[in-house]
Structure 1
Amino acid sequence: MKIFVTGCDGFVGSHIAERLASEGHEVVAGCYADPLFISERKQMSIRRFNLGLPETIRPCLEGVECIVHCAAIFDLAATVEQLHAVNVQGTANLLQAAKAAGIRKFIHFSTAEVYGTPQFTPLTEDHPLHPGTPYGQSKLESERLVQAESANGRMDTIIIRPSFIYGPRCVYAAGMFVPLLVLKEMGIKKLPVLYGDLKFNCVHVDDIALFVAYAIQSGKGWNSIYNLADNDIVTLEPAVRAFYQIFDFKPSFRLPYPKRSLRCFGYVGPCLMALGAFQPLAWFLNWYWGRICRQYQLKQALRFPKLDRCMLHFLRVDKHFCFDNQHVLATGFKFKNQSFIKAFDVMLAWYREQNWIPDYSKA
């Protein structure tokens, strides 16, 4: 099958394109910028396009039977206008071009952020939709565009709501660990261990790509919405201890997860932000990370998430971020990765190989 995959200059799209090509599909890898991780090969051609310019989309769809739409602005600091232009209007442009080309299959990547603050857990696909950020709202609006095409019978569609995605090539989310590297370089050797009932499950990018390939190959599960989150439910204290071990920190003492304090901080934080209270901290972290990159001659690829109003939204969460995956398992799909901690360690090893983070074993 000839498949157009958008967002192949990014994290998820590049993995999906490689997986589909390896399984014998003819892949048109759509890129907005020069791809960092993939190149043209047998079964894969690379095409530059812009979701905001329909005339650049149409040539990419010649002979295509299925579209996998991964391209989006994933940035909690992006403006509402930027998010709407790409995530909503860009999806509308792609759907219009797909209909004109007679394409009947469309897989759309949304986000678990469309649920907002959990009202119950584990979150199922019928959980109320109340996005807490402009990014989540833009993805919900794009979902509705895709659902409309499925409802009127013009297309067979799948909407994917992934949990936290991790794995090699992950740039944005992995940047959250930059503060640990900064603390390590500052000579901090011990840190308190948080404990509590907070739980979460994630999804490895390999499983994302495997599910897309499975759905296309098997023909199962179309015209539906799926959470993608693996079976490994991670609790707070074991995760913190594992991360400390990975970064060679020693636990000092146990500290209860301050749910109420963080929830209150999530509400008063915007007031502090308006006063510029977070700017010195953000500046210091970015400055120190730049210093580390120069010292170890690193590729400055990891992006530390901006301390902004949208980031503060997540501090208000005092419930589990566990996503129910029974719906996707009912299709017959099986997750490959069974341990978040082990796979995360492998991901960091890849970062060291790529010179994205220091390799302290060589020190």
Structure 2
Amino acid sequence: MIYLEVRFVQLKNKKVLITGSEGFIGSHLTERLVELGAKVTALVQYNSFNNWGWIDTLDNRIKKEIEVYTGDIREYDNMAKVIQGRDVVFHLAALIAIPYSYQSPAAYVRTNVEGTLNVMEACRVYGIEKVIHTSTSEVYGTALYVPIDEKHPLQGQSPYSASKIGADKMAESYYRSFNLPVATIRPFNTYGPRQSARAVIPTIISQILAGKKTIKLGALSPTRDFNYVKDTVEGFIKMAEVDESVGQVVNVGTNNEISIGDLVKKIIKLIGKEVTIECEENRLRPEKSEVNRLWCENAKAKEILDWQPKYTLDEGLTETIEWIKENLYCFKTDIYNV
């Protein structure tokens, strides 16, 4: 493989906005950007409790370097105000829970598609230097071939994935129509500290650590490519720094797959407790909606970004287990977190 000479833009002292900063990946990205010396504005969704999500839990030395702005990506005027004067925008805000998308598909269109439109339009109006748009491996649907590269067809197998396909195409249209410098990162299944029980890894770990003798899960046969959150965040950073990412879609994953069943066995072994597994029907996706196989081809990330994962699955799971052990109070292990 021929590797390109990578041209970097330094993020130090850049005025950076992160939408979805209060979330799982967004909070880790916020921390990393502060460490790199960026001037960070963290957009968190407005709520009357003035709750900043995971931003509230960050070390005080990090928080004092962040400007927090409350708003909503579904409101253009709000986006225009916060985006004006920024250099780089990381767009992570989205509705992401697949099960809830079956219940409220319109909400996913308003947030993921229309919200992305608002972000892109404000970035166009105010001449943003670089926009990093966040996609998801779910847009590929169940693999038609493996490993899945960026040329794989897109399949809307859930209202969530359909809305993200719409968001990705909206971002692409702003690059093609208005020459907006957009780069789209497509993470595969990210996991790690601060992830909610909406996702399978914290669901497994939190139930075991809560002392459940039988843990409740959905389908065990699907495979996923799990990428530790610190590696995913470095992918975001490289997407912003590297000039060649503009106009590109880049997969970020490990180029490995594991079935949910084998993942459970691995976690059980790492924790050292004996449990049985019960597959609950209400945790299963509709038959034609289930994504049976995801396996990332990450050659483009290596070539364009000079990026590759540093954490093994065992290393990432061990750090995640330790974090959940210390923060088990955050998890309601007796109910299904949609």
Interval containing the TM-score (normalised by the shorter chain)? 0.7 to 0.9
Select 1:15's aligned residue among 9, 13, 28: 28
Question: Which sections of structure 1, spanning at least 5 residues, go unmatched?
Answer: 256-261, 263-277, 283-306, 359-363
Select 1:241's aligned residue among 255, 265, 271: 265
2-side partners of 1:24 and 1:222: how far apart? 22
Counterparts of 1:213-252 in structure 2, within 5 Å, are 213-234=237-258, 239-250=263-274
Report if aligned partners of 1:10, 1:35 keep a CA contact under 8 Å in 2. no
Report if aligned partners of 1:114, 1:136 keep a CA contact under 8 Å in 2. yes
* Shift in alpha-carbon separation, 1:311–1:100, aligned structure 2, 3 A: farther
2:232 is aligned to 208
Larger Rg: 1
User: Structure 1 residue runs of 4+, over 6 Å off?
Assistant: none
Partner amino acid, structure 2, of 1:15: H
Report if aligned partners of 1:232, 1:340 keep a CA contact under 8 Å in 2. no
Per-residue Cα deviation, 1:318-344 (whole angstroms, up to 9, x for no partner): xx4211000111024333433112211
Counterparts of 1:344-359 in structure 2, within 5 Å, are 344-356=317-329
* Shift in alpha-carbon separation, 1:4–1:355, aligned structure 2, 3 A: same
Compute the displacement of 1:207 (Å).
Answer: 1.4
RMSD: 3.1
2:19 is aligned to 6
1:334 is aligned to 307
2-side partners of 1:345 and 1:311: how far apart? 33
2-side partners of 1:166 and 1:94: how far apart? 26
Report if aligned partners of 1:230, 1:338 keep a CA contact under 8 Å in 2. no
1:299 is aligned to none
Compute the displacement of 1:44 (Å).
Answer: 1.9
Report if aligned partners of 1:180, 1:247 keep a CA contact under 8 Å in 2. no
The percent of aligned pairs where both chains have the same amino acid is 21
1-side partners of 2:32 and 2:231: how far apart? 10
Compute the displacement of 1:357 (Å).
Answer: 7.5
1-side partners of 2:87 and 2:119: how far apart? 14
2-side partners of 1:53 and 1:104: how far apart? 22
2:37 is the counterpart of 1:30: no
* Shift in alpha-carbon separation, 1:109–1:242, aligned structure 2, 3 A: same
Per-residue Cα deviation, 1:192-247 (whole angstroms, up to 9, x for no partner): xx998x75421111112112222323434221001110244446675343222134
User: After the TM superposition, which of the residue ranges 114-123 and 212-221 deviates more from structure 2?
Assistant: 212-221
2:194 is the counterpart of 1:177: no
User: After the TM superposition, which of the residue ranges 62-71 and 136-145 deviates more from structure 2?
Assistant: 62-71
Per-residue Cα deviation, 1:273-320 (whole angstroms, up to 9, x for no partner): xxxxx7xx76xxxxxxxxxxxxxxxxxxxxxxxx36458832x72xx4
Per-residue Cα deviation, 1:43-72 (whole angstroms, up to 9, x for no partner): 421100111222221221232011110000
